[in-house]
């Protein structure tokens, strides 16, 4: 998949042909390390995988649909997603929710 400048996709576009839906089998998900998720809750639940480009794009699109235990947890997840986006060369629009600090 080609890296797109000006990421800024909304969740509806995440399922389009231009941005194929990120897919992860249960076996592959179980093989991921906790550090490969933007958010791990207090019970060990892993949310928003960020191990590859398509999942980072998906995490950006679904960031505001995720329930976080605290504003600090949300802000830490936001930082991890932004760092992963940078690592994969994904530009995140200034208007994307993931750009805004949790309040």
Is 48 strand, coil or helix? strand
Residue 17 lies in a domain: yes
In a domain, 68, yes or no: no
**Sole residue written with tokens 């576009």:** 13
Instruction: Let me know if residue 78 belongs to a domain.
Output: no
Share of the chain above pLDDT 90, in %: 73
Better-predicted residue by pLDDT, 94 or 18: 94
Q: Dihedrals φ, ψ of 86, to 5°?
A: -65, -45
Handedness of CA 58, 64, 70, 71 (dihedral sign): positive
Split into its structural domains, the chain has a count of 1
Q: Is residue 16 part of a domain?
A: yes
pTM for the whole structure: 0.78
Confidence of residue 56 (pLDDT cuts 50, 70, 90): very high
Residue 2: inside a domain: no
Q: Which residues, 6+ apart, have CB-to-CB distance to 16 below 8 Å?
A: none
Asked if the structure places residue 64 within a domain, the reply is no
Question: Considering the domain boundaries, does residue 97 fall inside one?
Answer: no
Residue 25 lies in a domain: yes
Q: How many whole angstroms separate alpha carbon 27 and alpha carbon 17? A: 25
Q: Which domain holds residue 26?
A: 11-41
- Token pair of 55 as six digits: 């999942």
């Amino acid at each position: 998949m080609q890296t797109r400048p000006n990421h800024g996709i909304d969740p509806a576009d995440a399922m389009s042909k231009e941005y194929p839906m990120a897919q992860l089998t249960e076996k592959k998900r179980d093989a991921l390390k906790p550090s490969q998720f933007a958010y791990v809750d207090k019970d060990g639940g892993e949310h928003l995988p960020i191990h590859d480009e398509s999942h980072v794009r998906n995490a950006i699109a679904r960031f505001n649909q995720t329930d976080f235990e605290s504003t600090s947890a949300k802000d830490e997840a936001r930082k991890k997603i932004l760092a992963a986006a940078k690592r994969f060369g994904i530009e995140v629009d200034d208007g994307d929710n993931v750009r805004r600090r949790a309040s």
